[in-house]
Amino acid sequence: MALTNISPVLPSGFRDYLPAEAIARGRMIATIRTVFERYGFDPLETPAVERTDVLTGNDPRFRMIIYEAQTTAQRRAAEPIDTALRYDLTVPLARVVAANRSLPLPFKRYQTGNVWRGERPQAGRFREFLQCDADIVGTASPLADAEAIACIADAMRALGITQFAIRINNRKILNGLAEAVGFDIAQAADVLRVIDKLPKVGREAVLRELGKPKRGANVAEGDDASESDSGCGLSASAVERIGVFLALAGTTDTLLDQMAAFFSESVVATEGVAELRSVIAALRAMEVPEEVVVLDPSIARGLSYYTGTVFETFLGELPSMGSVCSGGRYDDLVARFSDVSVPAVGFSFGVDRLFAALTTLNYIAGVATTAEVLVTIMDPEALPEYLAMTAALRRADIRTVLWLGTRMGFKEQLAYASDRGIPIAVIAGSDERAAGTVTIRDLRTRQQEVVARDALIASVRRMLVGRNA
Res 469: pLDDT: 56
Q: What is the mean pLDDT of residues 443-467?
A: 92
pLDDT tens digits for range 294-352: 999 888 876 677 899 999 999 999 988 889 999 999 998 888 888 888 999 999 998 98
pLDDT band at 468 (very low <50, low <70, confident <90, very high): low
At residue 218, does pLDDT exceed 50? no
Res 222: pLDDT: 44
C-beta separation of 408 from 380 below 8 A: yes
- Containing 354, the helix (H) or strand (E) segment is helix 351-360
C-beta separation of 337 from 94 below 8 A: yes
Q: 229, exposed or middle or buried, with CB in 10 Å at 0-12, 13-18, 19+?
A: middle
What are the structural domains of the chain? 19-360 (3.30.930.10), 373-468 (3.40.50.800)
pLDDT band at 223 (very low <50, low <70, confident <90, very high): very low
- Containing 465, the helix (H) or strand (E) segment is helix 456-468
At residue 467, does pLDDT exceed 90? no
Report whether the peptide linkage leading into residue 319 is cis, meaning its omega lies within 30 degrees of zero: no
Res 203: pLDDT: 87
Q: What is the mean pLDDT of residues 2-9?
A: 87
C-beta separation of 18 from 366 below 8 A: no
Rounded to whole angstroms, how far apart are CA atoms 242 and 180? 9
C-beta separation of 210 from 227 below 8 A: no
Rounded to whole angstroms, how far apart are CA atoms 311 and 328? 6
Amino acid making up residue 217 = A
At residue 23, does pLDDT exceed 70? yes
Q: What percent of the chain has pLDDT over 90?
A: 67
Res 302: pLDDT: 63
Res 373: pLDDT: 98
Rounded to whole angstroms, how far apart are CA atoms 250 and 142? 23
pLDDT tens digits for range 194-206: 888 887 788 889 9
Rounded to whole angstroms, how far apart are CA atoms 398 and 440? 14
pLDDT tens digits for range 76-133: 778 888 999 999 999 999 999 999 999 999 999 999 999 999 988 876 678 999 999 9
pLDDT tens digits for range 252-302: 999 999 999 999 989 999 999 999 999 999 999 999 999 999 999 888 876
The region that residue 287 occupies, defined by phi over 0 for left and psi between -120 and 50 for alpha, beta otherwise, is: left
pLDDT tens digits for range 369-402: 999 999 999 999 999 999 999 999 999 999 999 9
DSSP code for 294:
E
Residue 110, classed as helix, strand or coil, is strand
DSSP code for 48:
S
C-beta separation of 178 from 188 below 8 A: yes
Res 230: pLDDT: 62
* Secondary structure tally for the chain: helices H, strands E: 18, 16
Rounded to whole angstroms, how far apart are CA atoms 454 and 439? 12
- Containing 108, the helix (H) or strand (E) segment is strand 107-116
pTM of the predicted protein model: 0.85
Report whether the peptide linkage leading into residue 343 is cis, meaning its omega lies within 30 degrees of zero: no
DSSP code for 340:
S
At residue 427, does pLDDT exceed 60? yes
Res 312: pLDDT: 95
At residue 221, does pLDDT exceed 60? no
pLDDT band at 229 (very low <50, low <70, confident <90, very high): low
In whole angstroms, how far apart are CA 214 and each of 195, 231, 310? 15, 4, 27
Rounded to whole angstroms, how far apart are CA atoms 432 and 452? 9
More confident residue, 220 or 208: 208
